[in-house]
Amino acid sequence: MKRILIVGAGGQIGSELTAYLRKIYGGANVIATDVRECRSLGDDGPFAVLNALDPHSYGYTVNKYKVDAIFNLVALLSAVGEKDPQLAWNINMGALMNSLDIARQYGCALFTPSSIGAFGPSSPKDNTPQDTLMRPNTIYGVCKVTGELLSDYYFHKYGVDTRSVRFPGIISSETLPGGGTTDYAVEIFYDAVKTGRFVCPVSPDVYMDMMYMPDALAACVQLMEADPGRLVHRNSFNITAMSFTPEILLAEIRRHWPDLRMEYMIDPVKETIARSWPNSLDDSAAREEWGWKPEWKLPETVADMVRKIAARREAGEI
Ligand code: SER
């Protein structure tokens, strides 16, 4: 990767990936784009407003900056997708199809995240294998499985250098996720620091895979820089760093903030989705094919989040 385009850079992953990539590859070589103006993304490198659903502006931007790698981070997440499935399909698949075709046309490598949401109620729940039954029952999951198949297809038919990971819920302190089922694991820190109280939308005993942002960022670069000859999977790789329930997360946060109160008000959509996803993934294929190895477990993640969110509160940012 030398000249990188990030599409959907204003979101939870993109806002931190932009800064991370600029440190490694140089500010001028990482072009951040989003459908909305995002002032901070233009501070240390190029930023452009780009609607990924418009193939002409997308192709123009790739050509203008002589891009050789694209991160397609455009997505409507799982819970919000259920409110308007047709819109979710149009945005998620529209951005992906344009990314695949433009990557093919301009000879770019393409990273598109898949998700634990690609699995469904009939997938094995524990230690969910890399290659297994995938029949998700959300539109988000349907888009992710379709995207995985298309990534394979474009690799085999056209030689497009497609790469992907199935991200678990991502915990981060800079930009909130929006409309996902795993969002509770981020929102709890914000509410804890602001009100000392959190209302959790999923049951205390539901396990889901999670990861701290520094591991997610490292995964993006490691996979994109991996030797293509070693990559057997071109659809997507299971990756995970930890798996916990709301109850386990609460206990860990209370080691720092003992007064945090938590109540449960179950959101039926999120609850059904959470119960349909794996408890924990088997990420051995990623470890074997490109050396994936997470660094952040739950205690260190929580300690770091508590420190950062408290500092942002003190600075009046949240
Ligand atoms: N974090 C996403 C969601 O909850 C899953 O990839 O929708």
> Mean of the pLDDT values across residues 2-24?
98
Predicted confidence band at 135 (pLDDT cuts at 50, 70, 90)? Answer: very high
230/169 Cα distance (integer angstroms): 27
Q: Which of 183, 202, 208, 267 to mutate to test the pocket of ligand 1 (most atoms within 8 A of CB)?
A: 183
pLDDT in tens, 185-233: 999 999 999 999 999 999 999 999 999 999 999 999 999 999 999 999 9
Verify that 18 and 132 share a domain, yes or no.
Answer: yes
58 and 163 together in one domain: yes
The encoded tokens of residue 306 equal: 């508590």
pLDDT at 230: 97
Ligand 1 atom at shortest distance from the alpha carbon of 77: 7
Residue 139 Cα to ligand 1 middle (Å): 12
Considering the domain architecture, whether residues 194 and 228 belong to the same structural domain is answered as no
| Contact of 226 with 291, CB cutoff 8 Å | yes
Place of tokens 């915990």: 171
Active-site annotation holder among 65, 140, 154, 212: 140
Residue 204's domain comprises: 170-210+242-279+295-314
pLDDT band at 26 (very low <50, low <70, confident <90, very high): very high
Classify burial at 72, counting beta carbons within 10 Å of its beta carbon; exposed 0-12, middle 13-18, buried 19 or more: buried
Reported confidence tier of residue 57, pLDDT bands at 50, 70, 90: very high
In degrees, rounded to 5, the angle at the alpha carbon of residue 277 between the alpha carbons of residues 75 and 283 is 85
Q: Establish if 127 belongs to a structural domain.
A: yes
143 found inside a domain: yes
The model carries a pTM of: 0.98
Identity of the residue numbered 19: A
In three-state secondary structure terms, 161 is strand
Here the CATH number for the domain that contains residue 268 is 3.90.25
Give the residue from 215, 143, 210, 203 showing the smallest Cα distance to 183.
Answer: 210
What pLDDT is stored for residue 39 in this prediction?
87
Judge whether 152 and 234 are in contact, CB under 8 Å: yes
Active site residue 140: yes
Assigned token pair, 303: 């300690």
